[in-house]
C-alpha cells in the first residue's frame, strides 16, 4: 500500500509472459516414401514415416514425436494389432535435422508379413495404409497430422511349413 514514488530505489517489476506457448505443428507426413509396401514372408519389413515438426517457440521446445501406421479402415485411433495397426512410441520416432523452429521426425515400424494387404487382389481393396504423427512440446501441448494419401500394402502369398516331414519308410 505504498506509492511507488516514495521508494529510495526503483522496484523491479516483472510481468507474466505475454507470449503463450505455441503448440507444435506437424506437416508433410509421408509413409514409406509414398511407395507401395512390399513385405517379405516369415519376417518383418522395416517401414518408415517421416514428418516435419515445427514449433514457433523454437525446435528446442519440441520434446518428442509418436506415430501410428494403420489400415485406413481401422483409423488412427486403432488398438495395436500386427494385422492392421502399429503404434510407435517416441523411442521409435527420433527427431533429427533440427534447425530454427523445426525438426524431422522419422518413425520406424517392423511390419509383419501377414499384415492385411490393400491392393486389388485383397479383401480390403477399397482401403490403403496411412500414418499419423503426433508431436509433443515442453508444455505438453500437441499437434497431429495424417498422410494426405495412403499407400497400398501389396498381397503376399506364403505358407509356413515345418522344417522336416516324417515320411516314414
pLDDT digits (tens, 9 = 90+) for 120-130: 999 999 999 99
Share of residues in the chain with pLDDT > 90 (%): 79
Using one digit for the tens of pLDDT, what is the confidence trace for 17-64?
A: 556 899 999 999 999 999 999 999 989 999 999 999 999 999 999 999
pTM for the full model? Answer: 0.83
Helix (H, G, I), strand (E, B) or coil at 80: coil
Burial class (CB in 10 A: 0-12, 13-18, 19+), 112: middle
Count of beta carbons in the 10 Å neighbourhood of residue 74: 18
Q: For the chain, what is the mean pLDDT?
A: 91
Amino acid at each position: 500500500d505504498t506509492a511507488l514514488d516514495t521508494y529510495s530505489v526503483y522496484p523491479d517489476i516483472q510481468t507474466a509472459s505475454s507470449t503463450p506457448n505455441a503448440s507444435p505443428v506437424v506437416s508433410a507426413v509421408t509413409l514409406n516414401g509414398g511407395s507401395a509396401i512390399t513385405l517379405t514372408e516369415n519376417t518383418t519389413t522395416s517401414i518408415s514415416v517421416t514428418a516435419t515438426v515445427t514449433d514457433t517457440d523454437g525446435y528446442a521446445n519440441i520434446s518428442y514425436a509418436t506415430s501410428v501406421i494403420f489400415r485406413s479402415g481401422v483409423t488412427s485411433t486403432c488398438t495395436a494389432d500386427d494385422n492392421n495397426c502399429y503404434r510407435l512410441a517416441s523411442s521409435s520416432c527420433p527427431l533429427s535435422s533440427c534447425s530454427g523452429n523445426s525438426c524431422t521426425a522419422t518413425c520406424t515400424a517392423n511390419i509383419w508379413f501377414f499384415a492385411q494387404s490393400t491392393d486389388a487382389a485383397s479383401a480390403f481393396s477399397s482401403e490403403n495404409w496411412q500414418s499419423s504423427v503426433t508431436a509433443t512440446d515442453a508444455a505438453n501441448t500437441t499437434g497431429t497430422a495424417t498422410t494426405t494419401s495412403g499407400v497400398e500394402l501389396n498381397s503376399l502369398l506364403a505358407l509356413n511349413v515345418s522344417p522336416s516331414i516324417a515320411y516314414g519308410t
